[in-house]
Amino acid sequence: MKNFGLLIVILLLAGTMLSSTLVIKGSNTVYPVAQLWAEGFKAMNPDVEISIEGAGSSTGIKALFNGQTDIANSSRWIKASEIEQMNREGKYFIPYVVAYDGIAIIVNKSLGISNITIQQLFDIYSGKITSWNQIDSSLPKARIVPLSRDNASGTFEYFVEHVMKGEKFAPQVQQLASTRAEVEQVMQNQYAIGYIGMGYITEEVKALTVEGVEPTVANVNAGSYPISRPLFMFVDATNGLPTGVTGEFLRYALSPEGQAAVLSVGYVNAYGTK
């Protein structure tokens, strides 16, 4: 009976240890997977309150400086100005690579092309090249049908930033409402080209090599695939590695179960899945 009472005390203590709140702010790109992690984490620790906000990477890191967030999601590395600020304020933030975001270029299986360069992609999407035979004279003299995701999607933003370097799409670029719609059109249309999150590649379409590199998880992990980027979670480690809920949450995100969630939202896992 005495032991039973002790057990209850221990359980209560263990309960209170994890019964707190966790605030996550930052990148819209990381948001969908962070949300899945929050759901999974809450299922295991029902007492934890988690609030997630997607407001951009810079906003997240700013909130980390102000102490308004426990974790700052970021789809970019920390900037020089932010390192300066860390030095000034005597703070030390550390990154965790939680996933990779890779973009695959897909075409119809019947099109006789297997590789594309970043420059060619730029020319196609900005409307400088409009016919396939301008890329390779062995390709048919047919109008290129460039497809894109809606301009609200993170994939769109990344593509515009890294392939287009901020240059605008030509008006005839078709913005489709879902990745599925893009794959469907590429299947149907011999002359269509589209870009999708690597997690969505299927057998029904052909994923091109970009600058000669195949879009595989291994190449993304090795950093050799040109249109991919790591996704980070930054935490304040001024007083040591994160403990408590923040530490538990990161451990969950990097666990095989957490990494499986990464694949389910179309990103590439950074660590092994189950």
Partner 1 sequence: MRRRRLDLSSRVLVTTAALITSAILFGIFFFLISDGVRVFGKISFEEFFFSARWYPTYEDAEYGILALLSGTLAVTGLTLAISIPLGFVSAIFLAEFSHRKAHDFLKLIFELMAGIPSVVLGSFGLKYVSRWLMEFFPMKVWTGLNIFNASLMLSILAMPYFVTLIEDALKAVPVDQKEASLALGANTTSTVFRIIVPQARSGILNAIILGTNRIIGETMVVLMVAGGASMIPHSIFDPVRPLTAAIAGEMGEVELGSTHYYALFMIGVVLLGISLIFTAIAMRLKRGMRRC
**Footprint of partner 1 on 12-71 (CB under 8 A):** 28
Residues 232/96, Cβ–Cβ less than 8 Å: yes
| Nearest alpha-carbon partner for 142 in 153, 150, 134 | 134
Partnered with residue 143 across adjacent β-strands are 131
Half-sphere exposure (Cβ direction) of 108: Cα atoms closer than 13 Å: 18
Residues 156/149, Cβ–Cβ less than 8 Å: yes
Task: Using the rule CB under 8 A, give the single segment among 98-106, 188-196, 197-205, 207-215 that binds partner 1.
Answer: 188-196
Question: What is the nearest approach in angstroms of partner 1 to the Cβ of residue 188?
Answer: 5
Nearer to partner 1, 21 or 172 (CB): 172
Instruction: Give the H or E element holding residue 237.
Output: none
Nearer to partner 1, 6 or 152 (CB): 152
Distance from first CA to last CA of the chain, Å, rounded? 41
Residues 60/72, Cβ–Cβ less than 8 Å: yes
Instruction: Determine if 90 is a binding residue for partner 1 (CB under 8 A).
Output: no
Partnered with residue 25 across adjacent β-strands are 53, 72
Residues in binding contact with partner 1, number by CB under 8 A: 28
* One character per residue 125-144, x = contact with partner 1 (rule: CB under 8 A): ------------------x-
Question: What is the nearest approach in angstroms of partner 1 to the Cβ of residue 194?
Answer: 12
Number of neighbours of residue 178 by Cβ within 10 angstroms: 12
Instruction: Determine if 110 is a binding residue for partner 1 (CB under 8 A).
Output: no
Near partner 1 by CB under 8 A: residue from 86, 105, 111, 145: 145
Question: What is the nearest approach in angstroms of partner 1 to the Cβ of residue 177?
Answer: 5
Residues 70/207, Cβ–Cβ less than 8 Å: no
**Footprint of partner 1 on 168-187 (CB under 8 A):** 168-169, 171-177, 181, 184-185
The CA distance from 213 to 200, in Å, is 18
Instruction: Determine if 202 is a binding residue for partner 1 (CB under 8 A).
Output: no
Residue ranges binding partner 1 (CB under 8 A): 28, 143, 145, 148, 150-153, 156-157, 160, 166, 168-169, 171-177, 181, 184-185, 188-189, 191-192
